[in-house]
Structure 1
Amino acid sequence: MTTTATVTEPRTAVRRRSGVLTRLVSTPAGLAGTVLVVLVLVAAAVGPLLAPYSFAETNFSYPYQQLFTQGFWLGTDDLGRDVLSRLLYGLRASLLVGLLAVGLAVAVGTPLGLLAGYWRPADMVISRFVDVTLAFPFLILAVGLAAISGASLSNAAIALGIGFIPNVLRVVRGETMRLKQESFVKAAVATDAPLWRILGRHILPNTLSAIIVQATVILPAAIIGESMLSFLGLGIQPPNPSLGIMLSDAQQYIYRAPSVAVLTGLTIIIMCFAFNLFGDALRDALDPNSSKGH
């Protein structure tokens, strides 16, 4: 009996994961989003190793080069730096800030959302915090926090993460309020299970799918937020590249070498588009009702 249960449980988990992956790539949008996300992650992970030049290497003899000239595939900027190399490094930096911001938002928003959704007195206090935070537009809040804390990669990630905490908190709170009405949670309460066990073992595992989807939804906004902060000089600082810094520099010579601004903007658009497509497809794949249509 014990052996059968031990074998069946992993097989069930494998089948469940396989079903999610199948639904994820079963639609054109899901397949495209998955492929684009994989390409973005690969470019961020190994792109700097494949970059033909260092991001800070200057070639003053070849400024403002056009595409595919003088050995520079995507041209050069005003200092003769290779645009392709800087895009690969900048993509990595922008994605890192976005992931750190999302990680902070999930790490803080999840326990607060669980507590607010389950315990009414805590909900009254935490909801006031959310109301105050949402009173400020996200970008204004991020700019203010970054300006106060100082310009750096870590401070930009913290500022963006704080701005996203209410998004995660509200999703987890809503899921917790729904789940606490389920019979398995009421059974745990009836056995006098401690609060940490109810939240950690019975509610949190059933909110993970919603948390994962929410993380993929806010990641594109975090990438745009990092680009905006760096564009304003409140994010990553030169000589380290980021997509926002490249856009800020490119505006000074946009009429002479418009390809730098265009390519940087397209990189941001493709990254955000990829994660948006992937997030939508992942939400449908994790929804148990989505399998009814197949």
Structure 2
Amino acid sequence: MTAVAPLTSPAEGGLGASARRAWRTLRASRAGTVGAVLVALVVLVALLAPLLAPYGQTEVHFDTPFQRPATVGFALGTDDLGRDILSRIIYGIRASLQVGILSVLLAIAVGTPLGLLAGYFPKLDAVVSRLNDVVLAFPYLIIAVGLAAIGGASLTNAAIALGIAQVPTMLRVVRAETLRIRERDYVLSALAMDASPWHILLQHVLPNCVSVIIVQATIIMPTAIIGEALLSFLGLGIQPPSASLGIMLSDAQQYIFRAPTAAVFPGVAIVVICLAFNLLGDTLRDALDPSTSA
């Protein structure tokens, strides 16, 4: 009697196909290309901040406050303490990416397992989904501000607060994808072969959730960056004298009419970073969304 081989998950080798599809979509999409290039530049600036910044992030020049942009030695001018705005923006971009990456990793680490369990086990779903709905009833930034206030003001605590606040969204996305995948033929075949639930989750469901997790991460990233700027603006994030785009906006509001560019340039930096990740995320969603994929 010939043995019948069980159906295997298309994720075996399918991740490479998804990557190739995403690459083709990025190349074909002008918005996606712009987003990918901007993200690459932002990451490069963050990595090379000590080399690119003309001055240190806390270096002051008391004899040259409120210098205008294009002043010799200060391309974007200086603030009230004579600190170079360009240098502080470069270091602020690095801080924003640090907080964004940490919060995204935390959201993935917590939200993905909970989403898998809720999507695969109906009894757990009844509990986890209801608790998740309760958390989602509160605005994202309210949760982040509350957690940051409890934990104390620091870069790490800001990242933890923003990451925890994003867990419900990641959980909901992974749960929905798990519900879809568990009805696929290869999962039903594994069940017929008496595979354990944990084997199915790890070998079949999780690999096929990778694409939606990546897309959701690119969506969470700009939200976390804006959240970091807000927390720092309120004094609950990165603390002076360290550079942060939110701190720069908070300081600049005191002399907005005397030196408006001190607020404009950090604001533009936040917009560019968030726009870059949004453009990249939208393109990846179009490329990797299973409902539109061939």
TM range, normalised to the smaller chain? Answer: over 0.9
Q: How does 1:103-122 map to 2 (within 5 A)?
A: 103-122=105-124
Aligned-pair CA distance for 1:291 = 6.6
Equivalent residue for 1:220?
Answer: 222
Alignment equivalent of 1:76, drawn from 75, 78, 90 = 78
Q: Deviations over 1:17-58 (max 9, x none)?
A: 333212112111111111111111111111332111001111
**1:121 partner amino acid:** K
Equivalent residue for 2:167?
Answer: 165
Change (3 A) 1:127 1:239: same
**2:132 partner amino acid:** V
> Is 1:146 the equivalent of 2:148?
yes
Alignment equivalent of 1:253, drawn from 252, 255, 260 = 255
Aligned-pair CA distance for 1:190 = 1.5
Distance 2:119 2:57 in 1: 47
> Is 1:229 the equivalent of 2:231?
yes
TM-score by length of 2: 0.92
Equivalent residue for 1:126?
Answer: 128
TM-score by length of 1: 0.92
Alpha carbons 1:230, 1:242 under 8 Å: kept: yes
Equivalent residue for 1:100?
Answer: 102
Unaligned runs of 5+ in 2: 1-10
Equivalent residue for 1:4?
Answer: none
Distance 1:164 1:266 in 2: 24
Structure (1/2) with the larger helix percentage: 1
Distance 2:133 2:193 in 1: 35
Equivalent residue for 1:6?
Answer: none
Alpha carbons 2:18, 2:288 under 8 Å: kept: no
Distance 2:17 2:191 in 1: 31
Alpha carbons 1:24, 1:31 under 8 Å: kept: yes
SS in structure 1 at match of 2:69: coil
Q: Deviations over 1:79-122 (max 9, x none)?
A: 00000100000110011101111110011000000000000111
Aligned-pair CA distance for 1:193 = 1.3
Aligned-pair CA distance for 1:179 = 0.7
Equivalent residue for 1:3?
Answer: none
Aligned-pair CA distance for 1:289 = 6.5
Alignment equivalent of 2:197, drawn from 195, 198, 214 = 195
Distance 1:170 1:265 in 2: 31
How well do the aligned residues superpose, as a CA RMSD in angstroms? 1.8
Alpha carbons 2:67, 2:79 under 8 Å: kept: yes
Tell me whether 19-28 or 132-141 shows the greater mean CA deviation.
Answer: 19-28
**1:28 partner amino acid:** R
- Quote the sequence identity (%): 60
SS in structure 2 at match of 1:34: helix
**1:136 partner amino acid:** F
Alignment equivalent of 2:36, drawn from 31, 34, 42 = 34
Change (3 A) 1:16 1:237: closer
Equivalent residue for 1:210?
Answer: 212
Alpha carbons 1:25, 1:34 under 8 Å: kept: no
Unaligned runs of 5+ in 1: 1-8
Alpha carbons 2:212, 2:289 under 8 Å: kept: no
